[in-house]
Amino acid sequence: MTNAKIPIVIAHRGASGYRPEHTLAAYELAINLGADYIEPDLVSTKDGVLIARHENEISQTTDVASHGEFAHLQTAKIVDGEVKTGWFTEDFTITEIKTLRAKERIPQLRSANIKYDGVWEIPTLQEIIDLAKNQNSALGRNIGIYPETKHPTYFQSIGLPLEDTLIGNLEANGYQGANAPVFIQSFEVSNLQYLAKKTDLPLVQLINLTGKPYDFIVSDETLAYADLTAKSGLEEIAKYAQAIGIHKDILVPRDSTGKLQSPTTLVHDAHAVGLEVHVWTFRNEDYFLPLDFQGNPQKEYELFFNLGIDGVFSDFADHAVAVRDRIIHTAEK
């Protein structure tokens, strides 16, 4: 660890290595495993309630397909330029969403989580905030919320914009100002620029390994994600955001066989313009690990923490916390 600040551990979709993602049980376990922030991806219901799902199409992570009363809502839509078929949150009221139950997204890799299929509801942002606040009171901690606006251009296009609702929810719960335990993230640019004018809460520009922000595609902007990591791109981001949230392969590229290459200068370059660097996504399974670290996920955390990053998104918050704290204690000796 090369910077003085202690890196944060962000529970990616909750403790999603151990529980179906985006459930209160997943978030509560993540808090108990030591996460500093819990991460809800947010989409909207028909009546404008923000709920935690990674996509607005919910057949992969809920039991909606087995609810005959919603069969008529199955449809195909174009979301972010891709045809999606299934059931979409914007076609359900919050009352209807609450009759659904979550299920494990990747049962082939996380078979231990299948036993929880059908147990837990789809949580609202408000319920997630309530959980964090209750846990803060009970545990004497200051667990933060790290919400992501999912498909922001799409939700604007159907009259259910996420941004003002999100800020309203956060402010109504006392989250205000640059020091609040909140980071608001987006893979798009223009909605973060809009948010920067509306709030002082910290903002995070997400940067994917390939492709372009979807709002750039819509507006015919020529810049792609790769351009955002150049020094000029980082300078632009620093005008509206406080951090970048990057795919880990951008910082430490892998070759075509999955072996790690030399790190880029991105941490240095981002810090030079005042941006924190948060990296996603750390997972224990060999399927996700580089060839170099098969069976050894702690080595991946060590590598990245020692590059001076400011935070990790992890499905296994306990592993991230353990490695971080060991590195800190070793440095203090």
Query: Is residue 313 involved in binding ligand G3P (CB under 6 A)?
Result: yes
Q: Are 192 and 183 in contact (CB under 8 A)?
A: no
Cα(119)–Cα(290) distance, rounded to whole angstroms?
Answer: 33
Query: Is residue 280 involved in binding ligand G3P (CB under 6 A)?
Result: yes
List 22, 54, 278, 319, catalytic entry: 54
Q: Which position's Cβ is nearest Ca ion?
A: 148
Q: How far is the CB of 44 from ligand G3P (least distance, A)?
A: 16
Query: Is residue 202 involved in binding ligand G3P (CB under 6 A)?
Result: no
**How many other CB atoms are there within 10 angstroms of residue 236's CB atom?**
18
Amino acid sitting at position 283: R
**Binding characters for ligand G3P, 177-196, by CB under 6 A (x = yes):** --------x-----------
Cα(229)–Cα(279) distance, rounded to whole angstroms?
Answer: 13
Long-range pairs of 285-289 with CB within 8 A, sequence gap ≥ 24: 285/109, 285/110, 287/109
Cα(52)–Cα(38) distance, rounded to whole angstroms?
Answer: 11
Phi, psi of 317 (to 5 degrees): -55, -35
Q: How far is the CB of 297 from ligand G3P (least distance, A)?
A: 17
| 72 noted as active-site residue | no
Amino acid sitting at position 105: R
Beta bridge partners of 282: 314
Count of residues of this chain found to bind ligand G3P when the rule CB under 6 A is applied: 11
Q: How far is the CB of 184 from ligand G3P (least distance, A)?
A: 11
Given the complex with ligand G3P, which of 101 and 151 has the nearer CB atom?
151
Query: Is residue 245 involved in binding ligand G3P (CB under 6 A)?
Result: yes
Phi, psi of 184 (to 5 degrees): -105, 130
Query: Is residue 312 involved in binding ligand G3P (CB under 6 A)?
Result: no
Given the complex with ligand G3P, which of 96 and 225 has the nearer CB atom?
225
| 67 noted as active-site residue | no
CA 85 to chain centre: 23
Query: Is residue 12 involved in binding ligand G3P (CB under 6 A)?
Result: yes
Q: Are 122 and 21 in contact (CB under 8 A)?
A: no
Given the complex with ligand G3P, which of 96 and 144 has the nearer CB atom?
144
Query: Which candidate, 188, 212, 184, places its Cα nearest to that of 199?
Result: 184
Query: Is residue 281 involved in binding ligand G3P (CB under 6 A)?
Result: yes
**Binding characters for Ca ion, 22-61, by CB under 5 A (x = yes):** -------------------x--------------------
Given the complex with ligand G3P, which of 41 and 96 has the nearer CB atom?
41
Contacts with Ca ion by CB under 5 A lie at 41, 148
Catalytic center residues: 12, 54
